[in-house]
Amino acid sequence: MGALDADTIDLAVRTRAFAFLEEQCRVHPDGMPWAALLAGFEFDGRRVPLLSQQGIFRPAVCRLPLSIRTAPIVEGRERPYEDEQGPDGFLLYKYRGTDRAHRENEGLREAMHAGRPLIYLYGLARGWYDPVWPAYVVHDDPGSLTFTVALGTQEAALSGPLAGASIEVEGEDTRRWVTRQSVVRLHQRSFRLRVMRAYSERCAVCRLGRRELLDAAHIRPDRAGGLAIVPNGLSLCRLHHAAFDADVLGVSPDLRVEIRTDVLKEKDGPMLVHGLQGFHGAPLAHLPRPEKHRPRREFLAERYERFRKVS
């Protein structure tokens, strides 16, 4: 089979992979399980997985890598490869090892030169990933052993070489903005999933167990340098999350709920009584079993001090 045929197959597989992901994201709106990505789809009678244990993955049917992967955060452990955002907003993706000529690095470098669209798989939690596509390698820096990756905003067929279009069709500024927004969203989804799991998908204040009505609240706000780790989070229903953010509801370092003084004195029907006032002075109703996942005392103390100033 000639090089042209191999490229035609490679591009056709990508088109099918993007369609497969679009279908699967409707089935798994909160993230895709490893098993579904590993099972993949069929192309011309062959199974095409979307990942493997390698971070840079090329299925046998493709000429060039199809996906790149960032491992999920595991509390108390570092990622094997710490990918991050660069100062220009693009994603910095680490080489496989330190050998510039490693076949996976060479494959990703060739994908860059070919302007080939990729799938970026971001680890939300152990066994769960959020796929983003199309992703493009736009720069190679051997000195720091990193590739620079930009995320596109258009359909893959309009976003690059699948339609013979230029990789610059969206413009660098657009891709920089899209990449920034995508990375923020991925970090938020990862934090939410890990906090929800730690709290068994229940509100820490009222024990409400409806996942669609729960949020992961930061104790130390992310805008103030709050870490996206489970001990900096609380699983709260929408009412109690809004009250926590507005300093209507506070949580003391000894894990007790307090309601702001003016709200305690207010008279406004059963929702106020049972939704807020009734929890004043009560301990948090639901906490993670492992101590390491419970709210960190210094984070609570800092946030509680802010609550006391307005209470």
Span 137-168, pLDDT tens digits: 999 999 999 999 988 754 444 344 444 334 44
Residues 145 and 223 in one domain: no
Among residues 195, 213, 238, the one where a domain terminates is 195
Residues 168 and 204 in one domain: no
Instruction: Supply φ then ψ for residue 62, to 5 degrees.
Output: -100, 150
Q: What is the pLDDT of residue 160?
A: 46
Among residues 164, 195, 226, the one where a domain terminates is 195
pLDDT in tens, 60-70: 999 999 999 99
Q: What is the pLDDT of residue 177?
A: 65
Residues 161 and 53 in one domain: yes
Spatial separation of the C-alpha atoms in residues 244 and 255, rounded to whole Å: 14
Q: What is the pLDDT of residue 232?
A: 95
Among residues 195, 222, 243, the one where a domain terminates is 195
Residues 76 and 176 in one domain: yes
- State the DSSP H helix or E strand holding residue 45, giving kind and residue range, or none if neither: none
Q: Is 297's pLDDT higher than 50? A: yes
Contact yes or no for 287/204 (Cβ under 8 A): yes
Per the structure, the count of domains in the chain is 2
Count of positions (residues) in the chain? 311
Residues 179 and 204 in one domain: no
Residues 143 and 15 in one domain: yes
pLDDT in tens, 182-232: 777 788 888 998 999 999 999 999 999 999 999 999 999 877 666 788 999
Compute how many other C-beta atoms are within 10 angstroms of the C-beta atom of residue 254. 11
Residues 128 and 215 in one domain: no
Residues 148 and 61 in one domain: yes
- CA distance between the termini of the chain: 74
Q: What is the pLDDT of residue 74?
A: 67
Residues 118 and 186 in one domain: yes
Q: What is the pLDDT of residue 161?
A: 45
Q: Are strands 67-70 and 118-125 parallel, antiparallel or unpaired?
A: parallel
Residues 303 and 236 in one domain: yes
- In this structure, what DSSP letter does residue 278 have? G
As a whole-number percent, the residues of the chain with pLDDT over 70 amount to 86
Q: Is 236's pLDDT higher than 80? A: yes
- Greater model confidence, 2 or 22: 22
pLDDT in tens, 244-269: 999 999 999 999 999 999 999 999 88
- Greater model confidence, 112 or 83: 112
pTM (predicted TM-score): 0.71
Spatial separation of the C-alpha atoms in residues 311 and 306, rounded to whole Å: 9
- Tokens 């639901």 appear where? 286
Residues 8 and 153 in one domain: yes
Q: What is the pLDDT of residue 80?
A: 45
Residues 224 and 142 in one domain: no
Domain region containing 128: 3-195
Instruction: Supply φ then ψ for residue 213, to 5 degrees.
Output: -110, 15
Which residues, 6 or more positions from 75, have their beta carbon under 8 angstroms from its beta carbon? 194, 229, 230, 292, 293
What's the longest Cα–Cα distance across the chain?
79
